[in-house]
Amino acid sequence: MTDQVVTVADAIGPFDIRGVMASLPHRYPMLLVDRVVSIVPNTSIHAIKAVSINEPFFQGHFPGRPIMPGVLIVEAMAQAAGVLTVQSLNLAGSGKLVYFMSIDAVKFRNPVEPGCLLDLHVEVVQMRGAVCKFSGKATIDGKVHAEANFVAMIADPPKD
């Protein structure tokens, strides 16, 4: 991202579900980050989604062969990026939201099935003002299952 030197000492985390919920407005059934392993502010995040057969989408996607929908894998990466952004910019409790703007170069490599831990690795490509570009990968046991580039913006929530 920049020429700054980032070290392991700069990392923050881990965060349990309470820390995740303090960073994101999402709640069940749309909260798709269960834990944060580590964050290097303004640089990267490693988060976890525990994929359970109890997820409501598995009832219909697909009966007899449950597979996590690809769009939800991308959403999980975006939520991890949201936690990274909120924590990097100290926005927790500010009311600011991180909104998706675009998704590019999405590739689904392998299906994600119940019973796995989905590792979400997201890196900042660029932070410029209220717009942030990210690159993300979703892996299981080191094997890439999905990847995407995406852009988000930091904004105030809609007015009532």
Given 26, 61, 121, 145, the catalytic residue: 61
Q: What's the CA gap between 119 and 77, in Å, rounded?
A: 9
Please indicate whether residue 61 is annotated as part of the active site.
yes
Annotated active-site positions, please?
A: 61
